[in-house]
Amino acid sequence: MCIDYGKKKIGVAVSDDSGELAFPCMIVENNKNLLIEIKQACKELKIHEIVMGNSLDQNGIPNPIMKDARAFAVQLENTLDLPLHFEKEFMTTMHARASHGGKEVVDDSAAALILQRFLDRKNKPVAKEDILDDEDGDTGSDD
């Protein structure tokens, strides 16, 4: 499950059973029931891991929302006892709006883009040369 944390709304996405494709799932209001709703969704959907968007600006500096997002991540970890990962979310809302014809509410689609980025990186095949380099300590450079 991926969570795109926002002050007013939280976008949620999930992957297929093989962990290869991400899909928008739901949009949840950011209110006092948020943790309960996410916990219930995790139980119903049999979620094993959480991915959260890591909101950074173009210079790699955390956006103001990250303080609240990280606090929520701590609550999630303490409540759910599931592995939690952060994944870059640079411009995902803008990309989601563009793919939906400018539609304003795209939080779940933005979460799907973040999750897809995470899945692609996680599932990326390791090149044979990289494995050999790791085994013999060779970094591949002539330094």
CB atoms within 10 A of CB 15: 21
Predicted pLDDT at 92: 62
Residue 118 domain-assigned? yes
* CATH number of the structural domain spanning residue 35: 3.30.420.140
Domain that residue 123 falls in = 2-136
Maximum pairwise Cα distance, the chain: 56
Residue 141 domain-assigned? no
Residue 90 domain-assigned? yes
Predicted pLDDT at 94: 62
- What is the pLDDT confidence band of residue 131, given thresholds at 50, 70 and 90? low
Say how many domains are in the chain. 1
pTM: 0.78
- What is the pLDDT confidence band of residue 142, given thresholds at 50, 70 and 90? very low
Asked if 73 and 34 count as a contact pair (C-beta separation under 8 A), the reply is no
pLDDT in tens, 18-44: 999 999 999 999 999 999 999 999 999
Residue 98 domain-assigned? yes
Closest CA to 52 of 6, 94, 98: 6
pLDDT in tens, 42-78: 999 999 999 999 988 888 888 898 999 999 999 999 9
Predicted pLDDT at 90: 63
Residue 92 domain-assigned? yes
